[in-house]
A and B are shown apart, each in its own frame.
Chain A
């Protein structure tokens, strides 16, 4: 029986005095693939940052692997790839290999150096995301899609049990996108990986994810994709414009 990897209880968050997340409660089981959707500014990235431990909610609690967020020593089992990850300083002189091995910093802990095992892990991870040939290239000199894969590899190399991806396929071409989704499927099959992915591509999320969370400050919907396509969910969360789009689609 699968147990909850992540439990959010009435998460409330403010930026200044703007309410961004309003009592969001959500639970994700081990091995699940949860797609998070919602209009721009609906708090999706904020929610991922709270789960990743980068922001503290004003109220509510986050439990990861059954332990409270604050005293969770298992931070290293979370992989997080930010939405704006490719807008780093492109003059930074780091090779792909150097970037990916940095992903092991937290799990190695202070004072321990990466050794043979870690180097092998990096090779395997790079091969997994199709970047083995680019190991010695500078990250700043790669294409946007390649950079995206480098940063996903940096998160994957620490073998996280929970992977948080914030719009990972922005700027990735159609072909690479399909490959990327294939990679996610393989990772989920091979490792016991729980996946949270924010995306604006409702079609892809509905096709791939086991469940969907629809957010707009409040949580409007959380359930299997089949139930998601009912009009009132979409209308409530996105407003009326979506109804037309949705009908146009079919």
Chain B
């Protein structure tokens, strides 16, 4: 007997779905603060740096996810030091690190003389490539990042809304920012296993952007972002299996479709734009 849900009998699909669900929860958890702080580009930065990490892993014959994790944490530190010590504007600092990551990746890929199947899976995501070891790493990072986001929820919210007010009222802003950067680096380097390097930052931003269209409080916006991300991953993996597509594309396309629906809903049911409004002058 064949059915639409036969794929569940394959261990690799079970792993893909489990890892996908963890990633679907992690991405908006980090994404909502990145988007609201207008730091979406940081997602792109860690993705490019992760590519260098993966290339290094493949080149040196080490577990690529481990090298990607390590190099991402290094990039988080580099960003902080560029901003603080050298007083480079944040967006410029991000652009410099993106360039460094991407060029290093190109060089390493050239040296290993192979644009091999492994690299392809990391670039576009893969449902068959997720090993038990990958799944364990995704789960461990998931616990760590979710734990952090839950414990520091009120601090993360306050800092995202008004960093200066948070600092002046005694919030340990520097500590929380440091941990948040590390959490972002971790999230992106494990999420790329499922969605692929090229599209991982989209899963960070697009479900949040969709939720912002319809959310009427921070709480509801966050909940909606989770719903949209989980829906995208479930649908995306399903389509990916049946149409034999790389999952990154189908997951993010689903997210974009949800965004369009949310934006349309908002256009019909409420007047005035919020996300894209210039901000009414007071």
Contact = CB atoms under 8 A, between A and B. Distances in A.
Contacts of B162: 85, 88, 102
Contact of B215 (A93, A99, A113, A144): A93
A154 B212 contact: no
A91 to B, nearest CB: 5
A126 interface: no
A171 B274 contact: no
A34 interface: no
Interface in B132-169: 151-152, 154-155, 157-158, 160-162, 164-169
Contact of A90 (B160, B215, B219, B279): B279
A52 interface: yes
Contact of A94 (B152, B168, B217, B280): B217
Contacts, number: 110
A64 to B, nearest CB: 12
B60 interface: no
A158 interface: yes
A161 to B, nearest CB: 13
Contact of A110 (B152, B166, B169, B274): B152
Contact of B221 (A52, A79, A93): A93
Nearest to B38: A89
B171 interface: yes
Given A102-B158, A110-B152, A143-B282, A82 B218 contact: no
Given A86-B282, A93-B221, A114-B154, A80 B36 contact: no
Nearest to A158: B169
Nearest to A88: B162
Interface string B96-140: 000000000000000000000000000000000000000000000
A111 B172 CA distance: 12
Interface in A128-172: 136, 138, 140-141, 143-145, 147, 151, 154-155, 158, 171
Given A53-B168, A95-B218, A144-B282, 13 more contacts: A54-B167, A75-B169, A88-B161, A92-B36, A93-B221, A98-B217, A99-B161, A105-B154, A105-B158, A141-B274, A145-B282, A155-B165, A171-B282
Interface of B: 36, 38, 151-152, 154-155, 157-158, 160-162, 164-172, 212, 215-221, 274-277, 279-282
Q: Which 6 A-B pairs have the closest CB atoms?
A: A144-B282, A106-B170, A75-B170, A90-B279, A106-B169, A80-B168
